[in-house]
Chains A and B, each alone.
Chain A
Amino acid sequence: MAVWLGFGVLAGATVAGALGTVTSRNVVHAALFLLVTLIAVAGLFLMLFAEFLALVQVLLYGGAIVLVLLFALMLTRIRGTAASLDNPQRPLAIVAALATVGLLLGVVLSTQWPVQQPGGGPVGFPQWGASLFRQWAIPFELASVVLLVALIGAVVISRPGGEE
Chain B
Amino acid sequence: MEWAWIAAAAPLAAFPLVALRGKWLPGRGAYISIAAIGLSFVLFWLVGADFLRRQADHFSITWFNSGGTRLALGMIIDPLSVYMLGIVSVVALGVQVYSLKYMEHEPRFSWYFAVQSLFAASMLGLVLSDNFLLLYVTWELVGLCSYLLIGFWFEKRSAAEAAKKAFVTTRIGDVGLLIGILVLFKATGSFDIGTVIQAAESGQISSGTLTVAALLLFAGAMGKSAQFPLHVWLPDAMEGPTPVSALIHAATMVVAGVYLVARAFPIFEAAPGALEVVGWLGLLTALLTATMALVMTNLKQVLAYSTISHLGFMMLALGSIGFTGGMYHLMTHAFAKALLFLGAGSIAHGTGLTDIKDMGGLWRKMPLTSTLFILGALSLAGVPPLGGFFSKDEVLAAVYHNQGPVVLGLTLVLALLSALYMARLVFVVFFGPDRSRESGVHAHESPWQMVVPLVALAYLAVTSGAAAFYLPGTGEGLGQFLFWEEGEAFHPLWWLIIASMVIVAAGFVIAWGIYQRGWRVARALEPVARLARRKYYMDDLYQWTIDRVVLVFAGMVALFDRTVVNDGGVNGSGGIVARVGKRLRYHETGRVYNYGLVMAGAIVVLGLMVTLLR
Q: Point out residues on A near B: beta carbons under 8 Å.
A: 87, 89, 92-93, 96, 99-100, 103, 106-107
Contacts and interface: CB of A to CB of B under 8 A. Distances in A.
Contacts of B608: 103
A43 B603 CA distance: 30
A103 B600 CA distance: 12
A89 B597 contact: yes
B69 interface: no
A36 B446 CA distance: 126
Contact of B600 (A87, A100, A107): A100
B594 A89 contact: yes
Contact of B593 (A89, A99, A100, A106): A89
B604 interface: yes
A86 to B, nearest CB: 10
Q: How large is the interface on B (under 10, 10 to 19, 20 to 34, 35 or more residues)?
A: 10 to 19
Contacts of A87: 591, 593
Contact of A107 (B594, B601, B603, B611): B611
Contacts of A89: 593-594, 597
B607 A96 contact: no
B594 A106 contact: no
Contacts of A93: 593, 597
8 contacts: A87-B591, A87-B593, A89-B597, A96-B600, A100-B604, A106-B611, A107-B607, A107-B611
Majority secondary structure of chain A interface residues (helix, strand, loop or mixed): helix
Interface string B312-334: 00000000000000000000000
B505 to A, nearest CB: 113
Nearest to B592: A87
Contacts of A107: 607, 611
The 5 closest A-B pairs by CB, nearest first: A96-B600, A99-B604, A103-B607, A87-B593, A103-B604
Interface string B568-609: 000000000000000000000001011001001101100110
Interface of B: 591, 593-594, 597, 600-601, 603-604, 607-608, 611
Contacts, number: 23
Given A87-B591, A100-B604, 12 more contacts: A87-B593, A89-B594, A93-B593, A93-B597, A96-B600, A96-B601, A99-B604, A100-B600, A100-B603, A103-B607, A103-B608, A107-B611
Contacts of B593: 87, 89, 93
Contacts of B594: 89
Contacts of A106: 611
Contacts of B611: 103, 106-107
A94 to B, nearest CB: 11
B484 to A, nearest CB: 96
A100 B603 CA distance: 8
Contacts of A99: 604
Contacts of A100: 600, 603-604
Contacts of A96: 597, 600-601, 604
A107 B611 CA distance: 7
A94 B185 CA distance: 80
A78 to B, nearest CB: 17
B541 to A, nearest CB: 77
Question: Which one of A92, A96, A100 has the greatest number of beta carbons of chain B within 10 Å?
Answer: A96
Contacts of A92: 597
Nearest to A93: B597
A61 B608 CA distance: 33
A19 B607 CA distance: 24
A85 to B, nearest CB: 12
B579 to A, nearest CB: 28
Contacts of B601: 96
A107 B610 CA distance: 10
Nearest to A87: B593
A89 B594 CA distance: 8
A100 to B, nearest CB: 6
Nearest to B599: A96
A148 to B, nearest CB: 27
A19 B409 CA distance: 117
A104 B603 CA distance: 11
B291 to A, nearest CB: 94
Contacts of B603: 100
A99 B607 CA distance: 10
Nearest to B594: A89
A89 B597 CA distance: 9
Nearest to B598: A96
A96 B601 CA distance: 6
Contacts of B607: 103, 107
B612 to A, nearest CB: 10
A89 B608 CA distance: 23
Question: Which one of A93, A100, A103, A107 has the greatest number of beta carbons of chain B within 10 Å?
Answer: A103
Contacts of B604: 96, 99-100, 103
A97 to B, nearest CB: 8
A4 B607 CA distance: 31
A89 B591 CA distance: 11
B400 to A, nearest CB: 104
Nearest to B603: A100
A106 B604 CA distance: 12
B6 to A, nearest CB: 84
Nearest to A111: B611
B219 to A, nearest CB: 78
Contacts of B591: 87
A100 B604 CA distance: 6
B592 to A, nearest CB: 10
Nearest to B608: A103
Contacts of A103: 604, 607-608, 611
B376 to A, nearest CB: 100
A93 B593 CA distance: 9
A128 B607 CA distance: 35
B429 to A, nearest CB: 99
Nearest to B593: A87
Nearest to A107: B611
A89 B598 CA distance: 12
Nearest to A86: B593
A96 B597 CA distance: 7
A87 B591 CA distance: 10
A106 B593 CA distance: 26
B601 to A, nearest CB: 6
A100 B602 CA distance: 11
